[in-house]
Amino acid sequence: MARRPEPANHFAGGYLDRASRLRQDAAWLSAALADERSLFVPVHADRCLVASLEAPRARFLQRAQLVTLGCEPDAHTAVFLGLYQDRAVFALPLDTPPEGMDGEFVDLWQVGQRLDPAEAAILAYAKAMIGWRTHHRFCSMTGDPLVVDSGGHVLAAPDGRKLFPRVDPAIIVLVTHGERCLLGRQTTWPEQRYSTIAGFVEPGESLEDAVAREVEEETNIRVGEVRYHSSQPWPFPSSLMLGFTAQAQSTDIQLNDGELADAGWFAREDIVNGRIRVPPGMSISHRLIRDWFDAWDGPTLAEVLGGTTRW
C-alpha cells in the first residue's frame, strides 16, 4: 500500500497562490484593491483578527466593510499576499482598530493550533509581511523614507537600492541515541514542557554545521549524521524553522551557554507516564518528536495525548 504524504507543518502549505507575476502589474493591483470581492487581512500590533478567542476563525474583510469603518485600503499600506479561491488577498496594517470592527485581535501563538490550516497559513504570512514593513521604514544607509513597490514586497530607497522581505533561518533538531531522544527546556516554559534543540543559523555557516554547533553549545552533545526532515514558517516574528534529525556521538550533558534551564535524555515511556510534556501540536518540534515517538510498537503520540490538553 502506498504511504500517504505527510500533511504540511502548521503555517505551511500551498493554500494560497502567491501570484508573484502580478506584483509588478500596477494596474491589476489597483483594480484588485478596488474589487469588492478582494479579501483583506487586518493586522494590529503583531496580532491578527479572528472571530473570537473562544472559537477562532480568521476574519477576512472586504473593501465595503473597511470603507464603512473608515479604513479604506490603498497601495501604500496594503500588501498583496496572493490569490485565495480566485480572490485577491491583501494584508492591511491598522495602527488603531476602528470602533465597530467585529472580532478580536489576538496573538497567533494563542490560536494558531485551533485555526483552519489554510487560515493559519494566510494569517502567518500577513503577520510576517506587516512585521517586516513596520520595522523597515527608512533606508539604513541614508535615513531616507523607503517607497513601497511590487505590491508591498519591495521597499525602494531614493538612490535605487531595494530592500526585500527578510527571513531568519533557524535549525531545530531531534537528537537521538538508541531509544532515547535529547530534549531541553527554558525557564519561561510551562512546567514539565521539554522541546527539541533549536537556534539561529550564523553567517558563513551551513545548516548541518549550525545543527552540530547549536547542540554542542547548548548541551555539550556531539552529533554525527544529520538529516533534513521538513521546514516550517514561524511568524514569531519572521523565522524559517529548518527541521533535522541527528545521531548523537556522546551522551554526557552539560549546559554550556545558559540558554536552557535543563536538558535530558528521554524515552517514550517518559511521555506516556506524563513525566514530561511535549510542545504544542502546531510546532515543528512537536512533529519531530511525534515522528520519532510513533516508530515503535506502542501507541501513537496522538493516542497517548488524547487531544490537545497535554500539549
Q: How many CA atoms lie within 13 A of 123 on its CB side?
A: 32
Distance between CA 192 and CA 195 in Å, rounded? 10
* C-alpha–C-alpha distance, residues 40 and 269, integer Å: 47
Does 1 or 157 have the greater pLDDT score?
A: 157
Q: Give pTM, 2 decimals.
A: 0.92
* Percentage of the residues of the chain whose pLDDT score is greater than 70: 96
| Grid cell for residue 134 | 513596520
Question: How large is the average pLDDT for residues 110-121?
Answer: 93
pLDDT at 306: 87
Q: State how far the alpha carbon of 94 is from the alpha carbons of 69, 71, 97, 195, 268, in Å.
A: 12, 8, 6, 35, 46
Q: Residue 149 contacts by C-beta under 8 Å, 6 or more apart in sequence? A: 155, 156, 162
Q: Which CATH number fits domain 168-305: 3.40.1670.10, 3.90.79.10, 3.30.460.80, 3.30.67.10?
A: 3.90.79.10
Q: Is the pLDDT of residue 3 over 70?
A: no
Tell me: pLDDT of 307 over 70: no
- pLDDT over 90 (residue 100): no
What mean pLDDT comes out for the span 70-94? 96
Domains 20-163 and 168-305 share a fold: yes
Indicate whether 52 pLDDT > 90: no
Q: Where are the domains of the chain?
A: 20-163, 168-305
As to burial, measured by CB atoms within 10 angstroms (0-12 exposed, 13-18 middle, 19+ buried), residue 284 is: buried
CB atoms within 10 A of CB 221: 22
Mean pLDDT over 123-141 rounds to: 94
Could you give the CA distance from residue 116 to residue 107 in angstroms, rounded to a whole number?
15
- How far apart are the C-alpha atoms of 117 and 114, rounded to whole Å? 9
The CATH-assigned architecture of domain 20-163 is Alpha-Beta Complex (3.90)
Strand 168-177 to strand 239-248: parallel, antiparallel, or no bridges (unpaired)?
parallel
Residue 183 near residue 266, CB atoms below 8 Å: yes
